[in-house]
Structure 1
Amino acid sequence: MWRLLIIVLFFPMLSWAKSTEMSWLDNRFRVDPTIKQVSFLVYREKASQAVTIVRPDGTKYYAWEHPEHVAWYEENGMDIISIENPMPGPWQAIGKITLKNKVKILSNLTLNVDSLPKKLYQSESLKFTARLLQDGKPLVLRDFLNRIKLNVTFTPYLANEKELVKEARPLAEVLGTFEDDGQDLDEVAADGVFTVNLPINVKPGKYWVRIQSRNGVFLRTVEQDVLVYPAPIRASFTQARNQSLSHSMSVDTEGGVIKSGSLAAHIEQIDPNKVVTITQSQAEKEESKLYFDLPNSYLPGKNTWSGWVYATDLATSRPLQFYLGKHNYGVTEPIDLKAAYEARLKEEAAQRKIEEQKKLEEDRAEARKWFWIYIGVGNLLIIVLIFGGIFGWKKIKSIKEKKAAAPKSEKLSMPPPPKV
């Protein structure tokens, strides 16, 4: 479903098409009944709060409180207000407004977006363009265009998506952002043409593609449905086994999808010294495959390769380009097996010597420990024997002294036998 993306916010608008411009008169301005969209810019004093907008019927709009058909962008010293289907009559802005103020009223402001191919391929990239128009002509106000950023979102397709509750709806994925800044694929800055390099980094399937403001300044969205098919190419990098060989790259295609002879590749290699080497190759006229060699610097360390593959869709003759991503591969220092073996033997011998020395130290420590145990036990025995001897000697001496002090008894003699 298509809906015109009506831009009703941001900076004062000046275009090649006509616009109605009025100076402020006592901070008031009048909207004609034929006006369907109005956008105006208010300069105010630095650090002052956002202005209050008063409708002809007295209703007030604030930066933090306003209807859905009003979009409000606030910066330090500036307000940008856009209103869809504004009430005819005198409007007023209340605040610390400077003398720079003017209001520019624009009509028929639309966003013209390229139609995406109905058949996209996973991992392809394409240049996608949108144009901001007023009355069918480009709008070219730099201050306004510099602040517009449009998102390209892919949402898995559901026919009844809008009937579902918010929590049940599929999540949108942002694949690219339009900018009119003259960078990357955008050719000229502030010319009203927004360009994005759109990478199709989603799974195959059907999607709603929506173009809408990244910061919510637009009130409407442009959308279309597309089909994403699996990538029709397969690229493979093979690293060389040694410095005498080259790396290789092969690109194969899905049969009946890519036009024969249309394959081309651009590969960039970055070595550890940050030197970039570019290799390009193209398939022969009737070939649907591509195989070529890549330089092998064989510098030890982290090496990187990245690249693009270009082809033409067989059914639609649409040019295709596929980014292969950024990949790393490592190269190690050449190994001298004999020196490595000898070094290992030396290391093992040194380790054995360390272990033997450690064992010797442990044995010596154990011997010292038992030596001191023996010395301690021997000394203890000697002390016990000494004290035991002294105690025994004193005991014996005491017994002798007691015997010597005891009184001696008279010795009785037997009478001689009688004579017969």
Structure 2
Amino acid sequence: MFRQLFLIGVIALSLALPASANNYNPNDNASQQKIKLLSNRFRVDQAVEALVFIIERKPGSAPIILVRPDGSKLYATRQVDGVNWVDGNAGDMIEIKQPMIGPWQIIGDILPSSEIRLATSLALKINEFPNELFVGEVVKLTARIEFNNKLLALGRVDDLIKLDVFLRSTSDTSAPNFGAGTFTIGQYIDDGQGLDERRGDGVFTGRLDLDKPNGPYTLLVRAGNKVFEREYSQPLYLRPQPVKVDLMSAAIDGQYALRFITNEQAVDMSQMAIQVIVHHPDDTQEHLSISNLAPTHLLRLENVQKPGRYKIDIEVFGTTNDGREFRYNIEQMKVKIEVPAAKEVKAQKVEADKARKAQFKREQLEKRRKAAKQKAEEEKALIIIIVMVNVLILLLGGLLMWLFLRKKKPKKPKADKKDADKKDEKGDKKDKDSKKKK
């Protein structure tokens, strides 16, 4: 029913008001501003040319009553010049041309989803804001106040305008942040400090505290003072941090280490980098970095050993799989290494002495084992040398004997010698006889 009345009201307003007299254009984003009715009060400044109320009420409740700054009241049942009003069972739509400047009030059973649309030459402009961020992410945001579509520079009176940023959890009962409420997460400031570039240039810069429970929120940016107010809102989802860190006290040889676990589904692993700063008890700093991050990565803290208090700051830099760059700080870690008590020192000394003696015994045993092994090897080598020398001597002796026996003629036996002499005599005798015959 209310939707039908809403459409009828829009058509009626467009027909009742001439185009030149109606400065409010629902399709003109440059001139259209919104104010969520967080309370029943709001303020109209001199730059507001027209107001359009879109009021949602409890079903069956009476139309609202508007109280102007001078105390006079506007009713749905009373016609007033410059006021167009359509009411239904669960809401009202009202347009007011050239509204009275000052504080207004609404009387009625309005719902939080109600809002006011302003047609004004004074506008709040917010730079593009991601719909998703990581918990604790560090982001630089800028906003500006424009008057007649031109930047409103405030110079040295930049503190006259205040821009606050809020996060309001949604009513989704299944969300992890259900019931978290509304957080003030920062301010936009034009003071030339921190992330802000120049003071009083009309460009407000904010650094937000997004260390809140993950889940869906409504982001609200509210600008104003006692003279005017503007508001910007959009949905925002805080995602869990893609890199988790655990401090391990006995990871490697009893030393401290940091274990990083990264969600590969959320970030581009090739674009990840981590900066670690270890603050030592003597106020010195140790800088460590990781550029080639693995899904599960262990970073050894070799110098966190001596007694004292250590603080560890970790900053994560990366790019999401969608190409958005991000950075965030992990909550500071603290390590306290106690000074051992006297008894503990004595016990540690005794244990150290025992360890040294055991080590000395092991070393001596190892030396003896090596010496015995060396001696056995030397004896074995000596035996081999002796055997080889003996074999060589035998070979040489045999060779010499063979040579000696080869050169020496063998002696004939006496019987053989007599026979030989007889043969010689017979031969000689034969020769003589032959000669005689001749």
1:313 paired with 2:328, answer: no
**Equivalent-residue separation in structure 2 for 1:60 and 1:173 (angstroms):** 31
RMSD of equivalent CA atoms: 4.1
1:224 paired with 2:230, answer: no
**Equivalent-residue separation in structure 2 for 1:335 and 1:154 (angstroms):** 50
**Equivalent-residue separation in structure 2 for 1:188 and 1:9 (angstroms):** 30
- Residue 223 to residue 280, structure 1, CA distance change in 2 (3 Å): same
Pick aligned residue for 2:158 from 145, 165, 181: 145
The aligned length equals: 250
**Equivalent-residue separation in structure 1 for 2:272 and 2:72 (angstroms):** 55
- Residue 35 to residue 215, structure 1, CA distance change in 2 (3 Å): closer
What's the counterpart of residue 293 of structure 1?
300
1 or 2, which has the higher helix percentage?
Answer: 2
Pick aligned residue for 2:137 from 111, 114, 124: 124
- Residue 114 to residue 216, structure 1, CA distance change in 2 (3 Å): farther
**Equivalent-residue separation in structure 2 for 1:60 and 1:338 (angstroms):** 77
- Residue 35 to residue 299, structure 1, CA distance change in 2 (3 Å): same
Q: Percent identity?
A: 22
**What's the CA shift for 1:85?**
4.3
What's the counterpart of residue 265 of structure 1?
274
Listed as ranges, the matches of 1:392-411 within 5 Å are none
What's the counterpart of residue 322 of structure 1?
328
Listed as ranges, the matches of 1:70-85 within 5 Å are 85=98
**What's the CA shift for 1:318?**
0.5
**What's the CA shift for 1:153?**
0.8
**Equivalent-residue separation in structure 2 for 1:133 and 1:236 (angstroms):** 47
Pick aligned residue for 1:283 from 270, 287, 292: 292
1:4 paired with 2:14, answer: no
**What's the CA shift for 1:132?**
1.8
- Residue 206 to residue 35, structure 1, CA distance change in 2 (3 Å): closer
AA partner of residue 307 (structure 1): I
Listed as ranges, the matches of 1:43-58 within 5 Å are none
**Equivalent-residue separation in structure 2 for 1:137 and 1:209 (angstroms):** 25
What's the counterpart of residue 339 of structure 2?
333
- Residue 150 to residue 60, structure 1, CA distance change in 2 (3 Å): closer
AA partner of residue 273 (structure 1): D
Unaligned 5+ runs, structure 2? 1-25, 36-41, 51-67, 74-96, 102-119, 173-178, 350-438
Unaligned 5+ runs, structure 1? 11-30, 38-58, 68-83, 89-106, 160-168, 344-420
What's the counterpart of residue 373 of structure 1?
none
Question: What do residues 92-125 of structure 1 show as CA deviations (whole Å, max 9, x unaligned)?
Answer: xxxxxxxxxxxxxxx7221111232222222323
AA partner of residue 328 (structure 1): K
What's the counterpart of residue 133 of structure 1?
146
**What's the CA shift for 1:201?**
2.1
Listed as ranges, the matches of 1:177-256 within 5 Å are 177-213=187-223, 218-239=228-249, 247-256=256-265
**What's the CA shift for 1:265?**
1.0
- Residue 224 to residue 292, structure 1, CA distance change in 2 (3 Å): same
AA partner of residue 162 (structure 2): K
- Residue 206 to residue 241, structure 1, CA distance change in 2 (3 Å): closer
- Residue 200 to residue 155, structure 1, CA distance change in 2 (3 Å): same
**What's the CA shift for 1:312?**
0.8
Where relative contact order (Cα < 8 A, 6+ residues apart) is larger, the structure is 1
**Equivalent-residue separation in structure 2 for 1:258 and 1:191 (angstroms):** 36
Question: What do residues 335-362 of structure 1 show as CA deviations (whole Å, max 9, x unaligned)?
Answer: 676863599xxxxxxxxxxxxxxxxxxx
Determine if contact 2:259/2:299 at 8 Å carries over to the other structure. yes
Secondary structure of the corresponding residue to residue 221 of structure 1: strand
- Residue 85 to residue 240, structure 1, CA distance change in 2 (3 Å): farther
- Residue 138 to residue 334, structure 1, CA distance change in 2 (3 Å): same
**Equivalent-residue separation in structure 2 for 1:170 and 1:123 (angstroms):** 16
- Residue 140 to residue 339, structure 1, CA distance change in 2 (3 Å): closer
- Residue 338 to residue 263, structure 1, CA distance change in 2 (3 Å): closer
For the pair shown, the structure with the greater C-alpha radius of gyration is 2
What's the counterpart of residue 310 of structure 2?
303
What's the counterpart of residue 121 of structure 2?
108
**TM-score, normalised with respect to structure 1:** 0.50
**Equivalent-residue separation in structure 1 for 2:263 and 2:287 (angstroms):** 26
**What's the CA shift for 1:177?**
1.4
- Residue 179 to residue 327, structure 1, CA distance change in 2 (3 Å): same
- Residue 251 to residue 60, structure 1, CA distance change in 2 (3 Å): closer
Determine if contact 2:255/2:305 at 8 Å carries over to the other structure. no
Determine if contact 1:114/1:130 at 8 Å carries over to the other structure. yes
**Equivalent-residue separation in structure 2 for 1:279 and 1:66 (angstroms):** 68
**What's the CA shift for 1:258?**
0.8
**What's the CA shift for 1:138?**
1.9
Secondary structure of the corresponding residue to residue 202 of structure 1: coil
Determine if contact 1:5/1:111 at 8 Å carries over to the other structure. no
